[in-house]
Structure 1
Amino acid sequence: MPYHQTLKNRRPGKLSGRANYDTWKVAIRYHLEDRESYAVCITATENAEKDRKARSALVSSVTSAVIKEIQSCETAKEMWDRLSKLYEDKNPNHFVSLNQEMFTTRLTRLENCSNMAEYLNKMKTIGMKMKRILPQYPDQAVAANILTNLPSHYRPLVMALENSVTDLTTDLVCERLLTESEKMDLPAQKALAAKYNNSNTGRNNDKKYFKGNCNRCGKYGHKSSDCRVNVKSKGDNHLRTHTFNHNKSEQSANNNSRHSKVKEAFISSNQNSICHRIPDKAWIIDSGATRHVTPYRDSFSSFEINK
């Protein structure tokens, strides 16, 4: 099928309501122009064949809920006007709500938009709706609102644009912001990649260190598959067992030696040479003691025998 025939047969997305009316209107217009039937939708042109094609295109490009709104229309123009009246936002009273929506739109993940492209698209859509209601609404106002609602780290770019001799336009602001956003995202992406690589490196390093004893040599810190002790055959199992038991015994002896040294240090503290310089009848004050004992009767000023 020729390419131009493919374009003619391609249908736009279905109109579901006011939310997607603006984009649907643009898409259906070009679709109708390809079918040479757009003129009968906006003028009272009497052409039965083109009117039939236009009505067919309109009905097939809306949802079943919207079809109920235009099923009583007799011509394509009646359908077009009915849809415009229902979903095209031209009510002057809506200008205030649109202005409030533009003012509250923010470029933050916690609020409205998660990235710059989404933020700019939403702001431009609101601006187009405001211009439709108020045609004299300046494009510079839309550009100014876009800059006003940016996070603080875009402040240098905002100041540069404010002091520029070039007139602010929505297209200029969007172009500069998209470029600046890409520059800011690049270091973040590199940092994320570096963090990912470091985390992988850590996992690889963990594989090199085994927390346990080797089943071959009995030493701590590696597996038997990584052991440097060369056991060539099954006949050398006694060597492996002997080595393991020897190292285990050696490790146990070292542990016992450490404990014995601690005990000896504790015992030797009772025989400290300082004690020999203390007089026999001297008292050593200990606030934590519950009882004081001495073999010397004359050390007490009063003495009572408990029976």
Structure 2
Amino acid sequence: MNTTVKIELLGKENYDTWKLQAQAILVKNDLWEFVNSTKRRPKIVKDDESSLKAAQKWDISDQKAKADLILSISPLELREIKDCETSNEMWLKLASIYESQGPTRKATLLKRLILNKLNDEEKMNDFLREFFNCVDKLKAMDLEIADDLLSILLLYAIPDSYESFRIAIESRDELPKPEVLKIKLLEECEARKNREPKHNDAMFARGKCQLKNSQRAIENPHRKDNEKPFKYKCHRCGKVGHMAKHCRSHPAPQSQQRRRNTQMTHQDCYPDKTSEISL
């Protein structure tokens, strides 16, 4: 059963993981022996058709190995291997470029390990993967860093929002091993995610309450929180709920005001027709 396997394309920073994955694909496709040069190209013997066919068969397999390598390399890096004729040449050229163990490479990895900081928008998983990837690369160059130093670097690479977590870890008698601290950081990050919905619900409820209070204040800015609502009509705008001296409406024209006052006087003088009359 044929299955398509996708790997991360080779770039400037992922050679170590790319190398393992590319080798696995070549082994799966029965092409690794062409790349590592254990199966060399047969020599062509003059007037020997079988040797010619064997060489042609080898060329076809080697071209397939080259194709697998090219398809797993970032387009920006293809210029490095454009002049390679065989898959073995291509493999060795990539190793010479990206597998450098000189002082410059070590300094670059150490700088990344020390200066790389996690921000609140970045995922904890991605940050920890990058951190320990640098540690593994330095170990491969025979440069090991003490566990306590790695734990301290981790603690001070996380954001200030983790200050309480940092203090709790530092208050212990011994610092946890880097791998243990990694697990605790992931657990703390997950716990914070689970607390966020409850916090958001509380903030939403508080916001609704503040909105209602602000609306009430707009409707009647002179009313205190413990004061009962005004039950009568305003003499200025005719709306129930506030007094004329607290009315925010523009003053009515004199003719309208006079007519409104006349109506109110009329209502005061002549009670409702449906009310009972005492005899």
TM-score w.r.t. structure 1 length?
Answer: 0.56
1:137 aligns with 2:171: no
Determine if contact 2:113/2:131 at 8 Å carries over to the other structure. Answer: yes
Which residue of structure 2 lines up, in the alignment, with residue 231 of structure 1?
Answer: none
Which residue of structure 2 lines up, in the alignment, with residue 42 of structure 1?
Answer: 36
Determine if contact 2:33/2:39 at 8 Å carries over to the other structure. Answer: yes
What's the CA shift for 1:221? 5.2
Determine if contact 2:118/2:157 at 8 Å carries over to the other structure. Answer: yes
C-alpha distance in structure 2 between counterparts of 1:107 and 1:121, whole Å: 12
Letter in 1 for 2:40: E
Which residue of structure 2 lines up, in the alignment, with residue 101 of structure 1?
Answer: 112
Letter in 2 for 1:199: G
Q: How does 1:182-193 map to 2 (within 5 A)?
A: 182-193=190-201
Q: How does 1:53-132 map to 2 (within 5 A)?
A: 53-109=64-120, 114-132=122-140
Q: How does 1:140-151 map to 2 (within 5 A)?
A: 140=147, 142-150=150-158, 151=160
- Alpha-carbon displacement from aligned partner over 1:23-79 (angstroms, at most 9, x marks no partner): 433432332232122343334323725423211101122233422221221221211
Q: How does 1:218-257 map to 2 (within 5 A)?
A: 218-220=238-240, 245=260
Which residue of structure 1 lines up, in the alignment, with residue 24 of structure 2?
Answer: 30
Which residue of structure 2 lines up, in the alignment, with residue 229 of structure 1?
Answer: none
Distance change (3 Å), C-alpha of 1:178 and 1:26:
same
- Alpha-carbon displacement from aligned partner over 1:130-150 (angstroms, at most 9, x marks no partner): 12322x515735445323544
Q: How does 1:4-19 map to 2 (within 5 A)?
A: 5-6=2-3, 9-15=4-10, 17-19=11-13
The percentage of aligned residue pairs carrying the same residue is: 22
C-alpha distance in structure 2 between counterparts of 1:114 and 1:194, whole Å: 25
Determine if contact 1:211/1:220 at 8 Å carries over to the other structure. Answer: no
- Alpha-carbon displacement from aligned partner over 1:273-297 (angstroms, at most 9, x marks no partner): xxxxxxxxxxxxxxxxxxxxxxxxx
| Highest RCO, 1 vs 2 (Cα 8 Å, sep ≥ 6) | 2
Report the number of matched residues: 215
Letter in 2 for 1:35: N
* SS of residue matched to 1:219: coil
Distance change (3 Å), C-alpha of 1:245 and 1:67:
same
Which residue of structure 1 lines up, in the alignment, with residue 63 of structure 2?
Answer: 52
What's the CA shift for 1:102? 1.6
Distance change (3 Å), C-alpha of 1:65 and 1:210:
closer
Determine if contact 1:218/1:247 at 8 Å carries over to the other structure. Answer: no
Q: Identify unmatched segments of 5+ residues in structure 1.
A: 223-240, 251-307
C-alpha distance in structure 2 between counterparts of 1:249 and 1:83, whole Å: 97
Distance change (3 Å), C-alpha of 1:62 and 1:97:
closer
- Alpha-carbon displacement from aligned partner over 1:109-136 (angstroms, at most 9, x marks no partner): 4xxx7343233122112212212322x5
Alpha carbon RMSD of aligned pairs, Å? 3.9
Letter in 1 for 2:116: T
Determine if contact 1:89/1:132 at 8 Å carries over to the other structure. Answer: no
Determine if contact 1:218/1:248 at 8 Å carries over to the other structure. Answer: no
Distance change (3 Å), C-alpha of 1:163 and 1:69:
closer
State which structure, 1 or 2, has the greater radius of gyration over its C-alpha atoms: 1
C-alpha distance in structure 2 between counterparts of 1:14 and 1:208, whole Å: 61
What's the CA shift for 1:179? 0.9
Q: Identify unmatched segments of 5+ residues in structure 2.
A: 42-57, 221-232, 243-255, 266-279
Letter in 1 for 2:28: D
C-alpha distance in structure 1 between counterparts of 2:262 and 2:187, whole Å: 66
Distance change (3 Å), C-alpha of 1:67 and 1:138:
same
